[in-house]
Amino acid sequence: MTSRLSFSTIALGALLVTSVAPALAAPCGTGTFEAWLDDFKKEAAAKGISQNAIQAGLSGVTQDKAILTRDRSQQVFSQTFEQFSGRMVPPRLTRGSDMLKRYGSVLSRVEETYGVPPEILVAIWGLETDFGVNTGKFSTIRSLATLAYDCRRSDMFKAEMLDALRIVDRGDLTPQEMRGAWAGELGQTQFMPSSYIKFAVDFDNNGKRDLLHNVPDVLASTANFLKSYGWKKGKDWEPGSENFAVIQQWNKSEIYAKTIGYFATQLARAP
């Protein structure tokens, strides 16, 4: 996975922290995990999530101590732009060019709709999951429940957990399908559930917003995210530009954002 885990999880999730009535609050880290989860189920129902989604998503969920180990052992991102881009971009250029051609018609329709150029979308897609190859193997709901029960960022991950159940509730994905990165990101461009709820689109009109399996939905949803943060159609993405600031909404790391832009520029120049 990319360094986005340590940067965007906090930035995206923090937007959707919600207040909970004290009578339904599930306090972090107190009592057993099972008792906490029972309280959370009541909280989810009070938020309007169906019993079907609650049971499907939360039945049998247990803590994953390996998630806490990963959360506590995150290292500060220390690579230079030259080091990071040199490691990430050259091995993906040929495949990226192939993807531009393979999905050319879809990317053109996405650009017409959202104004985001194909090269930016393919660059993000490649850096996040190697074009959908490495989306992660962790159970999304189990990861979020583990992090929500832990008191370090409980409110943030409880909000993400609620949105994960909303994804189930509206029929986009089943809980069994929802597997991704250890901190709860899922899909081919690694959306937190809160971003999935806000920005995922059903671009091929098949009735589901599927960011795990459906490439048109993946590309259009990524473009929708960028447009929503102010992407300027036809403008460049060099550091200091308005569009570069939008890329930094995708990932706060300047090095990662510069690498997206560099990758996109290389793709635009490819024969």
The set of catalytic residues is 128
Contact yes or no for 150/72 (Cβ under 8 A): no
- Residue 260 CA to residue 127 CA, distance in Å, equals 8
DSSP-derived letter for residue 80 is -
Ramachandran quadrant class, 121 (left: phi over 0; alpha: psi -120 to 50; beta: rest)? alpha
Rounded to a whole number, what is the largest CA-CA distance in the chain? Answer: 62
In the structure encoding, which two tokens stand for residue 256, read together? 């990662």
Query: 229: Cβ–Cβ under 8 A, 6 or more apart, which residues?
Result: 246, 249, 250
Q: Under a CB-based contact definition with an 8 Å cutoff, are residues 235 and 118 in contact?
A: no
Q: Where do runs of H (alpha helix) occur along the chain?
A: 4-13, 33-46, 51-58, 65-72, 81-88, 90-102, 104-114, 118-129, 140-149, 154-169, 193-199, 215-228, 242-250, 254-269
Q: Which amino acid is at 133?
A: V
